[in-house]
Amino acid sequence: MKVKVHISNVDKIYKGTSRDVHALDNVSLDIYENEFVCVIGSSGCGKSTMLNILAGLDTPTSGKIQIDGQDISGTGIDRGVVFQQYALFPWLTVGQNVAFGLEMQKLPKEEINTKVDHYLEAVSLLDFKNSYPKELSGGMKQRVAIARAYAVNPKVLLMDEPFGALDAQTRAQLQCELIDTWQKEKKTCFFITHDVDEAVFLAQRVVIMSPRPGRIKSIVEIPIPYPRLPETKLTKEFNDIKNSIWKEVYKEYLAEKK
């Protein structure tokens, strides 16, 4: 297996006026090509910090990040990012939003159009190509954001709780669609969530982080075969894995309660 993302000994300390925050402590992780990795941990454990560093929106205090063996420097179109809030351009149509990154790459018009249609089709939104974001539901907006991230064919997709603001039913639906797209299109995915159910459903490996300072506590392989379907969540295997990860994530919290 080829290592796509190499994270080695990453530390992040936010310097504050009254005190410093040690957000990440010696985080090392290799993510393989086309792997789907979920990172889980309670609020404030450094998940977004890790993603922002991978995206190049922030820099580590020390440590190294490489993609395909190259050090990253700043943001780049080799990394597609999807955030919880719908970062669509409200003045552009759905199609124009998906085309945006492709136009930046100065691809021929024909090619852009073909790609936009392909990825809108993949997220079942081709009929909404000429609609504006304000005409879409939250779930549809996130589907556009995912299509837009895929369209530029990044090496890695970075997603920070992309379904966090959606209702449970829409969320479950988008999880299925994301897995479906990932199986068809292939992509190295780094997906952050604080929802254990979501992590187990999506990931091949779940990385569990512990808070203050943010460390990798353990890594759990999820041996459930794909395609994973809504009924997968009803199986004993799924629930056994989910329960054991839940306990691991909230171990400190559960101990305090005793």
Ligand X SMILES: Nc1ncnc2c1ncn2[C@@H]1O[C@H](COP(=O)(O)OP(=O)(O)O)[C@@H](O)[C@H]1O
> Applying CB under 5 A, which of residues 36, 48, 125, 196 lies at the interface with Mg ion?
48
**Among the residue ranges 42-50, 58-66, 138-146, 195-203, the one whose residues contact Mg ion (CB under 5 A):** 42-50
- Is 193 near Mg ion (CB under 5 A)? no
> Applying CB under 6 A, which of residues 5, 10, 23, 206 lies at the interface with ligand X?
23
- Is 18 near ligand X (CB under 6 A)? no
- Is 253 near ligand X (CB under 6 A)? no
- Is 60 near ligand X (CB under 6 A)? no
Decide whether 21 or 126 has the Cβ nearer to ligand X.
21
Following DSSP, what letter does each residue of the chain receive, concatenated? --EEEEEEEEEEEE--SS--EEEEEEEEEEEETT-EEEEE--TTSSHHHHHHHHHTSS--SEEEEEETTEE--S--TTEEEE-SS----TTS-HHHHHHHHHHHTT--HHHHHHHHHHHHHHTT-GGGTT--GGGS-HHHHHHHHHHHHHHT--SEEEEESTTTTS-HHHHHHHHHHHHHHHHHH--EEEEEES-HHHHHHH-SEEEEEETTTBEEEEEEE--PPSSP-GGGGGSHHHHHHHHHHHHHHTHHHHHHH-
For residue 3, give every residue at least 6 positions away whose Cβ sits within 8 Å of its Cβ, in sequence order, or none. Answer: 30, 31, 32, 33
- Is 80 near ligand X (CB under 6 A)? no
Minimum distance of ligand X from residue 213's CB (angstroms): 9
Minimum distance of ligand X from residue 22's CB (angstroms): 8
- Is 210 near Mg ion (CB under 5 A)? no
**What is the rounded CA–CA span in Å between residue 42 and residue 152?**
32
Select from ligand X, Mg ion, none the partner in contact with residue 18, using the beta carbon and a kind-dependent cut-off of 5 to 8 Å.
none
> Applying CB under 6 A, which of residues 10, 31, 45, 67 lies at the interface with ligand X?
45
> Applying CB under 6 A, which of residues 3, 13, 21, 57 lies at the interface with ligand X?
21
Decide whether 52 or 131 has the Cβ nearer to ligand X.
52
> Applying CB under 6 A, which of residues 4, 10, 49, 115 lies at the interface with ligand X?
49
Query: Which residues of this protein are in contact with Mg ion, per CB under 5 A?
Result: 47-48
Residues making contact with ligand X (CB under 6 A): 14, 21, 23, 41, 43-49
